[in-house]
């Protein structure tokens, strides 16, 4: 379609030249007819005949710009030639070209009067010259064919223009969808990076603080803690490599739903294409948080295996973000509880802690972190038709509550 548009633009720029060439071609045809008629007649074309031919040819240069005006001008010149007795082939050919142009480039409102004028002329000439009615019928048939041919070309041209416009609109829509997909993918990647980095860095900081605190009194315990810091860092690096591996392989935003291998292998695997974490990895996540010093318990209700890997990843990230915030704002002495309840209709999460009065988890803090914390897990819940709420509890501490509703379930 792009090449067709370029050709069409070039043709539009050369419209005047093409109109002149078309007018000259029609005039040449009339001149050839006029010259050939002299061979079968005793009367040769005179200067007036040639002059009238030129006079009727010139208006055709503007036939596409003003079809109706050119028609009536040519039609009047044809009548003038008959009245003054000028014998030229242009009086037959030029009106046909003019009415063709009205049918092709003009409006129907202007075509009807032109057609009436032509047919009235045919009828008048037939009656005045007492010609055979067969000639009148033949001329009428020729006029009808010319008009139908012009209307057919006009319809086809309009159809092609509509196809071109539709193709251009589809191209614009495709580009817009591509931009939206890129934006959504960037948001997804930013959310994944935030979840990976924020959680693991928070755990590493907590472990490093603990190692520094016990370094003088218990060097062996401090060394063991630093080993856990190293393991946590390697885990974060492995998850980042996996994410980058998905990008290199051209995976789409739905890749997390297509990787259905054992999710529990992700935290142990060094393969960059290992699957995303899921519900089965929450126990490993809690062990990691407990290693950092946070006391946390887990309560499961219902069959979590009914839900697919996409929902499993959302559950994992919501729990991960909530516990990361507890580590950062409530401290390692706080207690946390993770409750996961699965029913036939939805999957409900509640993560609470007792870090009373020590959580500065305000919107401003979330903005300073880049806006991918609570906002990110709220987006995850919304993507599964759910909702998420977070805030202080009535008895102190903090609560993150989420509900997921989705058809992304696997029959157990």
178 and 80 co-located in one domain: no
pLDDT of the residue at 395? 79
238 and 326 co-located in one domain: yes
CATH code at position 230 = 3.30.565.10
Cβ contact 310:257 at 8 Å: yes
210 and 354 co-located in one domain: yes
277 and 330 co-located in one domain: yes
Confidence at 247, pLDDT banded by 50, 70, 90: low
180 and 311 co-located in one domain: yes
Domain coverage including residue 189: 174-404
281 and 369 co-located in one domain: yes
- From 96, 131, 166, give the residue that closes a domain: 131
Cβ contact 195:276 at 8 Å: no
Cα 330 versus chain centre, distance: 45
pLDDT of the residue at 372? 55
In a domain, 52, yes or no: yes
Say if residue 351's pLDDT is above 90.
Answer: yes
Say if residue 235's pLDDT is above 80.
Answer: no
215 and 349 co-located in one domain: yes
In a domain, 156, yes or no: no
| pLDDT (tens digit per residue) in 111-159 | 888 888 888 877 877 777 776 777 778 878 888 888 888 888 888 988 8
Say if residue 273's pLDDT is above 50.
Answer: no
In a domain, 178, yes or no: yes
**What does pTM read for this prediction?**
0.45
**CA distances for 201 relative to 28, 130, 244, 325, angstroms:** 87, 106, 19, 12
Beta bridge partners of 337: 297, 352
Distance CA 399, CA 251 (A): 35
Lowest-confidence range among 73-77, 111-115, 209-213? 209-213
| pLDDT (tens digit per residue) in 18-71 | 888 888 888 888 888 877 776 666 666 677 878 888 888 888 888 888 888 888
Distance CA 390, CA 372 (A): 14
119 and 213 co-located in one domain: no
37 and 123 co-located in one domain: yes
In a domain, 227, yes or no: yes
Q: Count of domains in the chain?
A: 2
94 and 210 co-located in one domain: no
Confidence at 403, pLDDT banded by 50, 70, 90: very high
pLDDT of the residue at 349? 92
In a domain, 136, yes or no: no
Cβ contact 278:316 at 8 Å: yes
- From 106, 131, 156, give the residue that closes a domain: 131
Cβ contact 115:145 at 8 Å: no
């Amino acid at each position: 379609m792009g090449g067709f548009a370029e050709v069409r633009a070039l043709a539009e720029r050369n419209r005047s030249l093409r109109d002149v060439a078309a007018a000259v071609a029609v005039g040449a045809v009339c001149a050839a007819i006029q010259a050939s008629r002299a061979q079968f007649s005793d009367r040769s074309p005179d200067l007036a005949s040639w002059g009238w031919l030129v006079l009727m040819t010139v208006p055709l240069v503007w036939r596409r710009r003003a079809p109706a005006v050119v028609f009536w001008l040519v039609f009047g010149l044809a009548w003038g030639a008959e009245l003054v007795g000028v014998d030229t082939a242009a009086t037959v050919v030029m009106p046909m070209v003019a009415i063709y142009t009205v049918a092709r480039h003009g409006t129907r409102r202007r075509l009807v009067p032109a057609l009436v004028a032509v047919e009235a002329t045919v009828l008048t000439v037939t009656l005045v010259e007492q010609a055979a009615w067969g000639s009148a019928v033949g001329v009428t048939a020729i006029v009808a064919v010319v008009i139908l041919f012009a209307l057919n070309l006009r319809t086809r041209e309009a159809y092609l223009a509509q196809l071109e416009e539709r193709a251009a609109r589809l191209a614009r829509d495709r580009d817009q969808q591509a931009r939206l997909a890129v934006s959504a993918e960037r948001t997804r990647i930013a959310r994944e990076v935030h979840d990976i980095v924020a959680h693991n860095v928070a755990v590493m900081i907590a472990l490093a603080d603990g190692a520094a605190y016990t370094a003088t009194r218990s060097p062996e315990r401090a060394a063991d803690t630093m080993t856990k810091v190293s393991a946590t860092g390697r885990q974060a690096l492995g998850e980042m490599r996996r994410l980058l591996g998905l990008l290199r392989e051209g995976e789409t935003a739905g890749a997390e739903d297509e990787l259905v291998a054992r999710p529990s292998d992700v935290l142990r695997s060094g393969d960059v294409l290992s699957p995303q974490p899921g519900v089965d990895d929450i126990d490993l996540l809690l062990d990691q948080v407990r290693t950092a010093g946070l006391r946390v318990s887990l309560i499961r209700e219902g069959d979590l295996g009914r839900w697919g890997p996409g929902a499993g990843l959302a559950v994992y990230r919501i729990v991960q973000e909530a516990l990361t915030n507890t580590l950062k704002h409530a401290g390692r002495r706080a207690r946390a509880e993770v409750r996961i309840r699965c029913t036939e209709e939805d999957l409900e999460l509640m993560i609470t802690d007792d870090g009373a009065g020590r959580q500065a988890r305000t919107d401003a803090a979330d903005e300073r972190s880049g806006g991918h914390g609570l906002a990110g897990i709220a987006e995850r819940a919304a993507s599964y038709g759910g909702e998420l709420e977070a805030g202080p509890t009535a008895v102190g501490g903090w609560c993150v509550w989420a509900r997921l509703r989705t058809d992304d379930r696997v029959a157990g």
